[in-house]
């Protein structure tokens, strides 16, 4: 699959797994790690990689474990969120970086939240797109019937074997509908070809679903801490059909230095729907913190 202009790719050993990593931008620039969600891969940040690199950042975009050509360990336990966060810390170790800004969308945001809570020393600034703080998500899954209905697929994915067959059916048609859930035109046929190539990797569908299986089985895992101490920018597409917007403000309130910005016409696929605006907010925030966004 084609890389963005000026980008390169390699495999990096991190936390006992081999991760496929796309990099761009000046090697000495401020590092930022972009973490994709389900059912994407590094390509889910295709609209952000170039602009952030041009803004002077060292952009690091891994395929997280289980996705695309990264390693796919067997067993549900290999996909616990604390292990996924340790992958990011291990990636920083492998690249010789003490810390980096970390930005995540969907499941990538879950990992980013957790890393900021567990290892705030490794996260210089935190950006999250359309996923709530883990404490807020847990509370709403238990107390909000509406959110439980929105999250029906999480429970369906617990069934052995069936979700993989459902996702693979008709040339990954259900996954294609998911990534085409943004505004019209944000996911082209050419984009879908890239996604399908990643979904077809041996063992990928089971590994991707294991993220959900591990999440439910380890739902009682104690949070490393409740409040986020690093500067945090929460960006949220108001037309998200998977996650209720009421959780966005509650999440920002659990950050000592947090800011929420809502995009009224964007869906769950915010970085595709509002790419230019997201790039602008991220570049300013990553360079100058929350103060760069005021005024």
Q: Which residues are catalytic?
A: 106, 212, 268
At 193, phi and psi to the nearest 5?
-60, -40
The three-state (H, E, C) secondary structure of the chain, written as one string: CCCCCCCEEEEEEECCEEEEEEEECCCCCCEEEEECCCCCCHHHHHHHHHHHHHCCCEEEEECCCCCCCCCCCCCHHHHCHHHHHHHHHHHHHHCCCCCEEEEEECHHHHHHHHHHHHCHHHEEEEEEECCCCHHHHHHHHHHCHHHHHHCHHHHHCCCCCHHHHHHHHHHHHHHHHHHCCCCCCCCCHHHHHHHHHHHCCCCHHHHHHHHHHHHHHCCCCCCCCCCECCCEEEEEECCCCCCCCHHHHHHHHCECCEEEEEECCCCCCHHHHCHHHHHHHHHHHHHHCHHHHCC
Residue identified by tokens 């935190």 is 126
Q: What is the CA radius of gyration of the chain?
A: 17
Strands 31-35 and 8-14: unpaired
């Amino acid at each position: 699959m084609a890389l963005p202009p000026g980008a390169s790719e390699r495999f990096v050993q991190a936390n006992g797994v081999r991760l496929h990593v796309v990099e761009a931008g000046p090697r000495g620039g401020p590092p930022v790690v972009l973490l994709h969600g389900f059912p994407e891969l590094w390509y889910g940040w295709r609209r952000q990689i170039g602009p952030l690199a041009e803004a002077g950042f060292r952009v690091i975009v891994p395929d997280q474990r289980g996705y695309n050509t990264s390693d796919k360990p067997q067993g549900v336990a290999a996909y616990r969120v604390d292990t996924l966060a340790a992958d990011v810390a291990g990636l920083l170790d492998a690249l010789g970086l003490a810390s980096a800004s970390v930005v995540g969308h969907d499941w990538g945001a879950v990992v980013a939240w957790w890393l900021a809570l567990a290892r705030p020393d490794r996260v210089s600034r935190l950006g999250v797109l359309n996923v709530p703080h883990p404490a807020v998500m847990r509370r709403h899954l238990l107390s909000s019937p509406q959110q439980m209905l929105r999250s029906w697929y999480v429970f369906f994915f617990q069934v052995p074997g069936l979700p993989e067959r459902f996702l693979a059916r008709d040339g990954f048609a259900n996954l294609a509908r998911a990534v085409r859930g943004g505004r019209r035109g944000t996911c082209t046929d050419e984009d879908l070809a890239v996604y399908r190539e990643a979904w077809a990797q041996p063992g990928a569908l089971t590994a991707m679903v294991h993220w959900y299986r591990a999440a439910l089985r380890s739902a009682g895992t104690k949070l490393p801490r409740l409040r986020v101490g690093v500067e945090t920018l929460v960006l949220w597409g108001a037309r998200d059909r998977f996650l209720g917007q009421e959780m966005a403000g509650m999440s920002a309130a659990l950050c000592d230095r947090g800011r929420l910005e809502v995009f009224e016409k964007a869906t769950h696929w915010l970085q595709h729907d509002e790419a230019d605006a997201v790039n602008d907010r991220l570049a300013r925030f990553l360079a100058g913190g929350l103060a760069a966004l005021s005024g």
